[in-house]
């Protein structure tokens, strides 16, 4: 979503590199580029003015003028100001001290409230809560049925006494849901309310009546992050008409410019609490302003990636794979490789995973063009092998590769590539697990091919003989050099210090002849 903004800001900071000191003109030019980048991203004008003014003021201060690297300091300032306009700190749910915690969702039709209700229920369930979904959207056709289907998918019960489709009293349903939750010991109630295509008096009145009936602990305004400046207008209207405690952004995985996400918190004074960034019911999490700012500035979001991996990966399975790579638990096989690939697949698309790593903005086009079906093709090839072949890929000869290719509908070349890549990857991962270093990296021990081009042996140091002297590779020259060394030693009379004739050396006399300073003789004793 923030691709355009990220690229513009990256180009702006690139112009500052290498400058030991920033002039007034540099600061003004940078501020102008940041202003254009934010306006192009559809950020609200008041927010842009406030943001640029804060950056310019800090850039002219001592924190930049006294910095060793002013360009990096500017990036730091922009990052901190982005965090501020995104809401500052991470906002978390407030739970009721007694009775069920009531969460009410409000927003326009099409913002994704019903789907988000199920996502929130699943997220709460993973937190150890027992949520209850309540169908109070009795206006939109099949809204009740949609909530029931989503509730079944996430394993959360749905309270829907009315069929909806224009009939029923949403306020009465909301009131009855609280008693139902108490009776069945649900500790969280999520109320899905109706929306409209636009803000009107009837919508506001119904939302206000439901709010007054259930007295929610949290009112969350659900907004589509792709509708641009209208999201800010709608958010302001709901704030005045119904009131809410926090904002939930949906469709953050879209290709819109993302101005709504950067404007709402600053305009309304209400923080963004949750973010939905995909179609899957698991594509939902707390909104972290600092992590979102890091993504915008192409610094990655490694913390979120780690959290997702911890939730998705099987720790025991990962430990077994690590032991095999280190050589303690047997050999790493194609079976282990397939299991690890399936674990990674659970994290989501490869482009989404790689996009969380720092500096991946420059490879955005390649990531967007990555075909996730390539993983399916690899799985098909491995599944076409026999169990023995997966455990011992070395036994896969030419005839077996032809059979595997026919079995999975791929070519023999693709089977060859998979097997060859597996052996290369296993070798590299095993070496890393044992602390051997990364193949192909200078200065790393035990890495072949570091002495030049492909297939060339590294230059060997000259051989040394006894005493550390260099020895020629030519046998005749080596024999001649050895003979000369022996003659020299014989002329020295065998004295290791080379004294002629082997006579004893008078060191005190020798020291006197050197005219050394007085009292220096004590160092010779």
Q: Is 413 annotated as a binding residue?
A: no
Residues 164 and 229 in one domain: yes
Q: Two tokens at 20?
A: 């030991």
Q: Is 398 labelled a binding residue? A: no
Counting residues of the chain whose pLDDT is more than 70, the rounded percentage is 67
Cα separation, 156 vs 175, in Å, equals 19
Write out the H or E segment, with its range, that includes residue 219: strand 218-224
The answer to whether the CB of 277 falls within 8 A of the CB of 248 is: no
Q: Is residue 356 part of a domain?
A: yes
Q: What is the CATH number of the domain that holds 75?
A: 1.20.120.140
Q: Are 162 and 283 part of one and the same domain?
A: yes
111 annotated to bind ligand: yes
193 is in an annotated binding site: yes
d(CA 95, CA 274): 16
Known binding residue 251? Answer is yes
- The answer to whether residues 13 and 75 touch, using CB atoms and an 8 Å cutoff, is yes
Q: Is residue 509 part of a domain?
A: no
pLDDT band at 154 (very low <50, low <70, confident <90, very high): very high
For 450-470, write each residue's pLDDT tens digit.
Answer: 333 334 444 444 444 544 455
Same domain, yes or no: 134 and 272: yes
Reply yes or no on whether the pLDDT at 1 is more than 80: no
Are the C-beta atoms of 132 and 180 separated by less than 8 Å? yes
| Residue 252 assigned to a binding site | yes
Final residue belonging to a domain, choices 433, 461, 485:
433
End-to-end alpha-carbon separation of the chain, Å? 82
- Which pLDDT score is estimated for 158? 93
**26 within a domain of the structure (yes/no):** yes
User: pLDDT digits over 340-353, tens only?
Assistant: 777 777 776 666 66
The residue with tokens 């993504």 is: 295
Q: Please check whether residue 452 lies inside any domain of the structure.
A: no
Token look-up 């109070």 returns 136
Residue where a domain stops, chosen among 240, 269, 299: 299
Q: Residue 42: which domain range?
A: 3-85
Residue 448 pLDDT more than 70?
no
108 is in an annotated binding site: yes
For the chain, what is the mean pLDDT? 76
Same-domain pairing of 59 and 80: yes
Task: Give a yes or no: residue 68 inside a domain.
Answer: yes
The answer to whether residue 477 sits within a structural domain is no
pLDDT per residue as tens digits for the range 214-241: 899 999 998 887 776 777 788 888 888 8
Element (H, E) at 276: strand 272-276
Q: Which has more pLDDT, 329 or 352?
A: 352
CATH of the domain at 196: 3.40.50.300
**What does the alpha-carbon distance between residue 441 and residue 455 come to, in Å, rounded to a whole number?**
16
Torsion-angle region of residue 513: left (phi > 0), alpha (psi -120 to 50) or beta?
alpha
Does pLDDT of 376 surpass 70? yes
pLDDT at 438 over 50: no
Left (φ > 0), alpha (ψ -120 to 50) or beta: where does 486 sit? alpha
Q: Helix H segments across 155-258?
A: 170-183, 201-214, 229-241
* pLDDT higher than 90, residue 495: no
Is 486 annotated among the ligand-binding residues? no
Dist CA 416 CA 381 (whole Å): 10
**Does 282 carry a binding-site annotation?**
no
Is 109 marked within a binding site? yes
- The reported pLDDT for the residue numbered 513 is 59
Residue 519 labeled ligand binder:
no
Task: Assess whether 365 and 293 both reside in one domain.
Answer: no
- Does any domain span residue 118? yes
110 is in an annotated binding site: yes
Task: Give the count of domains, the chain.
Answer: 3
User: In the predicted model, is pLDDT for residue 307 greater than 80?
Assistant: no
CA 98 – CA 211 distance, rounded (Å): 18
> Does 196 count as an annotated binding residue?
yes
One domain, residues 239 and 222: yes
pTM over 0.75: no
Rounded distance, CA 169 to CA 378, Å? 53
* Shared domain check, 128 and 209: yes
Domain C-terminal end among 399, 418, 433: 433
Is position 164 annotated in a ligand binding site? no
Same domain, 33 and 67: yes
Smallest CA-to-CA distance from 293 within 51, 22, 18 is with 51
Q: Are residue 112 and residue 161 in the same domain, yes or no?
A: yes
66 shares its domain with 108? no
Q: What is the CATH number of the domain that holds 419?
A: 1.10.260.30
Q: Work out the burial of residue 454: count CB atoms within 10 Å of its CB; fewer than 13 is exposed, 13-18 middle, 19 or more buried.
A: exposed
CA 506 to CA 438: how far, in whole Å?
59
Same domain, 229 and 167: yes
Are 249 and 141 members of one domain? yes
In-domain check, residue 518: no
436 a known binding residue? no
Sign of CA dihedral 476, 481, 485, 488: positive
Residue 411 annotated as part of some ligand binding site? no
Q: Determine the Cα–Cα distance for residues 187 and 182; give it in Å rounded to an integer.
A: 8
């Amino acid at each position: 979503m923030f691709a355009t903004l990220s690229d513009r800001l990256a180009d702006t900071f690139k112009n500052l590199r290498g400058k030991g000191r920033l002039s007034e003109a540099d600061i003004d030019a940078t501020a102008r580029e940041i202003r254009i980048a934010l306006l192009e991203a559809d950020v609200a004008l008041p927010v842009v003015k406030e943001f640029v003014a804060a950056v310019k003021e800090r850039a002219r201060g001592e924190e930049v003028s006294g910095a060793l690297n002013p360009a990096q300091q500017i990036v730091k300032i922009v990052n901190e100001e982005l965090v501020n306009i995104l809401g500052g700190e991470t906002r978390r749910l407030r739970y009721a001290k007694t009775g069920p915690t009531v969460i009410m969702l409000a927003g326009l039709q099409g913002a994704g409230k019903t789907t988000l209700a199920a996502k929130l229920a699943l997220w709460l369930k993973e937190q150890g809560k027992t949520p209850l979904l309540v169908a109070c959207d009795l206006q939109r056709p099949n809204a009740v049925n949609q909530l029931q289907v989503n509730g079944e998918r996430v394993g959360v019960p749905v309270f829907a006494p009315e069929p909806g489709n224009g009939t029923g009293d949403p306020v009465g349903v909301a009131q009855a849901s609280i008693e139902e939750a108490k009776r069945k010991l649900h500790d969280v109630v999520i109320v899905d309310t109706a929306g409209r295509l636009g803000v009107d008096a009837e919508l506001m009145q119904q939302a206000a009546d439901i709010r007054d009936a259930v007295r929610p602990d949290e009112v969350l305004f659900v907004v589509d992050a792709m509708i641009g400046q209208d999201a800010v207008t709608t958010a302001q209207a709901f704030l005045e008409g119904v009131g809410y405690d926090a904002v939930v952004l949906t469709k953050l995985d879209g290709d819109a410019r993302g101005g709504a996400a950067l404007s709402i918190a600053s305009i309304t004074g209400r923080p963004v609490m949750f973010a939905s960034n995909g179609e899957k019911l698991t594509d939902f999490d707390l909104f972290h302003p600092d992590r979102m700012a890091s993504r915008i500035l192409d610094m990655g979001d490694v913390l979120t990636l780690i959290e997702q991996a911890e939730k998705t990966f099987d720790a025991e399975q990962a430990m077994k794979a690590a032991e095999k790579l280190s050589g303690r638990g047997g050999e790493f096989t194609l079976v282990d490789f397939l299991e690890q690939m399936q674990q990674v697949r659970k994290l989501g698309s490869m482009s989404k995973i790689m996009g969380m790593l720092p500096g991946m903005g420059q490879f955005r086009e390649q990531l967007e063009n990555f075909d996730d079906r390539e993983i399916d093709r690899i799985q098909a090839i491995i599944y076409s092998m026999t169990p023995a072949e997966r455990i011992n890929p070395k036994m896969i000869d030419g005839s077996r590769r032809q059979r595997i290719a026919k079995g999975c509908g791929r070519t023999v070349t693709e089977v060859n590539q998979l097997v060859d890549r597996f052996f290369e990857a296993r070798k590299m991962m095993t070496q890393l697990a044992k602390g051997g270093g990364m193949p192909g990296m200078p200065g790393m021990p035990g890495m072949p091919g570091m002495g030049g081009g492909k297939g060339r042996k590294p230059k060997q140091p000259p051989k040394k003989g006894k005493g550390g002297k260099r020895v020629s590779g030519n046998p005749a020259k080596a024999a001649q050099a050895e003979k000369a060394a022996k003659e020299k030693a014989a002329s020295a009379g065998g004295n290791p210090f080379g004294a002629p004739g082997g006579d004893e050396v008078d060191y005190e006399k020798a020291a006197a002849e050197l005219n050394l300073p007085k009292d220096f003789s004590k160092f010779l004793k």
